[in-house]
Structures are given as structure tokens and as C-alpha cells.
Amino acid sequence: MDQAEQLRNIIKAESQNKRPLARIITVTSGKGGVGKSNTSINLAIQLRKMGQRVIIMDADFGLANIEIMFGTIPKYNLSDLIYQGKDIKEIITWGPGEVGFISGGSGIVGLSNLRREYLAYIVQNLAKLDAIADIIIIDTAAGISDAVLEFLVASGEILVVTTPEPTSITDSYSLLKELNRHPRYVPENTRIKVITNRIETREEGKTLFNKLNAVVSRYLNLSIEHIGTIPYDSQITESVIQQTPVSMLNPKARSSLAYEEIAATLMNKELNKNLRKRGMAAFFSHIVSGKKTG
């Protein structure tokens, strides 16, 4: 029995537990420095204010953006779950606003070589997140690495953060191009949403999205949607310095109100009526089986 079949059997067993499935939202960007992690954190806080239980998984392995911005040092990380046998609840660090986060540590290197019993343990633990969180935000590394693409392919909902910088726009297009070329990417199973960041006006944000959408529609034949604009705001810089998310440091700041509006859009039942929740076990298993068979 190969690993992919083993994982299918594990997922089948987990599905019989009738657990609720968490909504997985993967936040990404074509380049660094565009405000991706700030977006992940502030959306998490705004969603928590709306009554959602939220956990962020920092998938930017080797770096510590989320914990630095939260001003919290985790005791354990994802590697401790995978290689040290820690329980999923032990590796969750609770940050400001009752938002949990999981540090990626050294990541998922070597997972394709793990024995079935280890894979079962990992999948069963990650499946517990579906009962702990309503929404799990995956904060990927910036750029177009194989690891980032694996997370995007496994996700049914992707948020792409871009800015007016020409390099940000072209890198966002390149990211979507590589995603579209991935052998396991299924467009009809994925919603791609764009957030325009560091924008002066809503009209500028819409214009920026229209430029990106024009080339994506013409050359990639992909459907993307614009779900909001974050204005340029010096309060965000201040919040990073103080290691307190702007949505908590200054809830009435322009950027905080914009994050609140985007969170409301994400929770709009009419806009999300066809959105299918995958759950954390299926998400993770898709990644691991891809590393073996992809």
C-alpha cells in the first residue's frame, strides 16, 4: 500500500468521526514585504471579534513573522507535533484577542518518508483543529516556491495580497501562473480572492485589481475576485514596532476598519454559499500525498 492510499484510508476513518470541518483560508503573495502576515493577523482578530474561533498556522518555515508581530514566543511548534509526539493542543500558542497560532518550526521536510502510524498520528491530531477552530488561516512564505504552491493547491480558498508596486503586480501574476500550471490544481475547487494593500483610495484599489484581473483572465483563464482594499496607514507601522496588531492597538484606524470590512465580506453567507469546507486533515493530507506522488 503506497502512502497516498494510506492517507486516503486515514481520511476516510477520520470522516466517520463526524467532526465539524474548519474553513481553511490560505494567505499568500508573489513577493515579500507587501503586508501578507499583517493581513493574516488582523483578519484573524477581526474574525474573532465576529465570534469566530480562529487559529493561524505560520507556514513561513524558518522565519517567525507571526510570533514577532504577536509579541509572543511559542513553547512548541509544528515540528514538535510531527517529530516529538506533542499533542495539537500543546503546540497552539494563544496570542492577543484569543487568536491562536501554530509556529511552523522547520516545517514538513521529510514527511513523505514517515511510516503510516506517524502519518495517522499527525493527521488525527490536525483533525482536532476542526473542533477547536472555525477558521484556520495558513500564512505562507512569500514568493513562488514549491512549498508555497503545495499549500495553495491544497487550499480551497486563497487570498492573494498585492500592492501598487509594479514588481508586486507582476509577481502576483507569476504566482497565479505557476499555480494554474500545477498538475494537481483544480480551478473549480478553488476560490481566489485578491486584497489590494497600501492604497490611497478605493478607486485606486479597484483599478489595481482590474489591471491584474485583465492579464489573468486573458492569459490564464482564471477567475479571481477583489474582496477589499487596505489603505496606506502609518498606524500599521506603529503597530509592528509595538508588536501589537493594529486592529487591537487602534481599532478605529483606517486600516483596522478596512480589515473589519474584509472580514465581514469573508463571512457574508450569500457570497460564500457555494464554499466547501475541507477541514485540516484533508488539507494536510493533500500536501503530504503530493510530496510523494506529485
What are the pLDDT digits (tens) for 16-60?
Answer: 566 688 999 999 999 988 999 999 999 999 999 999 999 999 887
Is it the case that residue 12 has pLDDT exceeding 70?
no
Radius of gyration (Cα) for the chain, nearest Å? 18
Is it the case that residue 292 has pLDDT exceeding 50?
no
In this prediction, residue 290 carries a pLDDT of 61
In this prediction, residue 256 carries a pLDDT of 97
Interior angle at CA 213, CA 207 and CA 214, nearest 5: 90
Give mean pLDDT, residues 241-258.
94
pLDDT band for position 293 (cuts 50, 70, 90): very low
State how far the Cα of 122 lies from the Cα of 115, in Å rounded to an integer: 11
In this prediction, residue 181 carries a pLDDT of 95
pLDDT band for position 294 (cuts 50, 70, 90): very low
In this prediction, residue 268 carries a pLDDT of 93
